[in-house]
């Protein structure tokens, strides 16, 4: 009877987590999508959380208050000199919304990792189903499905030259791959194993033909299998097989990206270099950061797009400036090194390569997760 009551209590928090993750990981690029991702799903998650419990961990309150103070302080600083301030207030509001509802749900007394694992699986399943519907409809029937256009949005960026790259409900393949990798790594850190669903999800990131997705998925699989080499040396043959298969399957894509980089025609890397040069030649931006100015292709230079693709550590500096940004980046790095094993650290850093936009709730999900997860890992070690 006690066991049944405990299970009922533990399973009662799954619904808030599901809506919380749906808000963060189903960013449909249309007015309908924005309404669900930024209003409806977060509101449902918050309401369900308060219905279950109105008590929260003090550390969560500190985290939320500190985050909001930093965002508001940064807004006040960059407003004095940035040339493109049209989106500052709106982007700061989005960042605060994401931070708020993630903090409310994840720092609730009723939060537990068992329900989080189940919620991750549900969101993963929805995402990969939508991906494979899109992928198979094109490569089997030559029919394009664009979830953004279908719901009144501007459409997704699926073409790379003559190559069609599925992205599911996300705006582009790189976003899909990065989000799926975050979910898979989060699931692995909680459960200490890759499930069949996780493996299918990683395969989908490779089939998105995103260069970043292919690299991230390969290293996630390699690191997880590498942990088993000492116990089962047969895994080394599997690793070699995966390396050969990935290289053969995506050889042309690797060569295209390499040649583009060498020839200086790789727009992604060029914008990053231009962004870096801009910061180095504008002292106020280097010291105080550019804040959450976002990117508008109609009013802003192309290199500003690079602000959204500088890794977590680079974005700390681009947003908050070299002083505060470096402190945040170093503090997070030290925390990770102190609390995680080498293999877990590597998986986390793989995700942080693309977790860099504070206005997206995925950012807050992963940052909060790596903060609260060590305590859970220690408890599970004690009970094993």
Position 154 scores a pLDDT of 79
In sequence order, what E strands does the chain have? 159-160, 163-164
Distance CA(325)–CA(287), nearest Å, equals 9
Which residues 6+ apart lie within 8 Å of 310 measured at CB?
272, 275, 317, 318, 356
Distances (CA, A) of 12 to 18, 51, 104, 190, 337: 12, 10, 16, 19, 33
Question: In sequence order, what are the beta bridge partners of 159?
Answer: 164
Tokens 């890794």 -> residue: 311
Q: Give the whole-angstrom CA distance, residue 46 versus residue 52.
A: 10
pTM above 0.85, yes or no: yes
- C-alpha span between 351 and 261 (Å, rounded): 23
Beta bridge partners of 163: 160
Query: Residue 200 has what pLDDT?
Result: 92
Question: Do the Cβ atoms of 157 and 151 come closer than 8 Å?
Answer: no
Q: Which two tokens stand for residue 78?
A: 């960059």
Reading the block at residue 159, the tokens are 């073409």
Closest among 273, 352, 347 to 316, alpha carbons compared: 352
Q: What is the pLDDT of residue 239?
A: 60
CA gap 226, 60 in Å, rounded: 35
- Local structure of 108: helix, strand or coil: strand
- Cβ atoms within 10 Å of 301's Cβ, excluding its own: 14
Bridge pairing between strands 159-160 and 163-164? antiparallel
Q: Where are the domains of the chain?
A: 114-383
For the chain, how long is the longest CA-to-CA vector?
69
Work out the end-to-end distance of the chain between its first and last CA atoms, rounded to an integer number of angstroms.
23
Q: Distance between CA atoms of 69 and 92, rounded to whole angstroms? A: 11
Q: How many CB atoms sit inside 10 A of residue 279's CB? A: 22
Residues making up the chain, counted from first to last: 384
Token pair listed for 189: 């850190």
β-sheet bridge partners, residue 160:
163
Give the integer Cα–Cα distance in Å for 382 and 384: 6
Asked whether the CA dihedral 333, 361, 351, 192 is positive or negative, the reply is: positive
Q: Is the distance from CB of 181 to CB of 187 less than 8 angstroms?
A: no
Q: Going from the first residue of the chain to its last (384 residues), give the mean pLDDT of each consecutive group of 10, the final group possibly shorter.
A: 42 88 86 89 96 92 97 93 84 95 96 96 96 94 90 81 86 92 97 92 90 87 73 60 61 58 54 77 88 76 72 90 94 96 94 88 96 88 50
């Amino acid at each position: 009877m006690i066991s049944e009551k405990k299970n009922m209590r533990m399973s009662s928090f799954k619904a808030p987590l599901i809506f919380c993750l749906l808000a963060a990981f189903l960013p449909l690029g249309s007015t309908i999508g924005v309404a669900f991702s930024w209003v409806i799903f977060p509101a449902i998650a918050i309401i369900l959380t308060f219905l279950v419990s109105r008590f929260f961990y003090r550390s969560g309150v500190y985290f939320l208050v500190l985050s909001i103070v930093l965002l508001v302080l940064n807004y006040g600083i960059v407003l004095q000199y940035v040339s493109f301030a049209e989106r500052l207030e709106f982007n700061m509001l989005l960042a605060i919304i994401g931070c708020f509802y993630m903090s409310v749900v994840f720092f609730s007394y009723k939060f537990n990792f068992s329900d989080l694992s189940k919620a991750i699986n549900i969101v993963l399943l929805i995402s990969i189903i939508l991906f494979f519907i899109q992928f198979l409809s094109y490569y089997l029937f030559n029919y394009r499905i664009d979830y953004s256009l279908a719901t009144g949005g501007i459409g997704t960026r699926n073409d790379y030259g003559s190559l069609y790259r599925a992205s599911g409900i996300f705006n582009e393949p790189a976003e899909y791959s990065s989000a799926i990798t975050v979910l898979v790594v989060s699931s692995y850190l909680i459960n200490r194993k890759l499930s069949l669903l996780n493996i299918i999800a990683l395969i989908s990131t490779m089939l998105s033909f995103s260069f970043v997705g292919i690299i991230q998925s390969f290293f996630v699989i390699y690191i997880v299998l590498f942990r088993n080499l000492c116990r089962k040396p047969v895994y080394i043959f599997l690793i070699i097989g995966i390396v050969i298969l990935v290289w053969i399957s995506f050889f042309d894509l690797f060569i295209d990206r390499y040649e583009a980089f060498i020839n200086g025609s790789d727009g992604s890397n060029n914008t990053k270099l231009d962004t870096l040069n801009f910061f180095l030649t504008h002292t106020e931006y280097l010291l105080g950061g550019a804040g959450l100015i976002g990117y508008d292709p109609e009013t802003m230079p192309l290199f500003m797009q690079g602000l959204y693709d500088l890794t977590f550590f680079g974005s700390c500096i681009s947003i908050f400036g070299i002083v505060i940004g470096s402190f945040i980046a170093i503090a997070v790095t030290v925390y990770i090194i102190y609390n995680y094993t080498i293999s877990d650290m590597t998986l986390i850093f793989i995700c942080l390569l693309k977790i860099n936009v504070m206005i997206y709730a995925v950012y807050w999900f992963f940052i909060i997760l790596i903060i609260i997860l060590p305590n859970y890992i220690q408890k599970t070690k004690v009970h094993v």
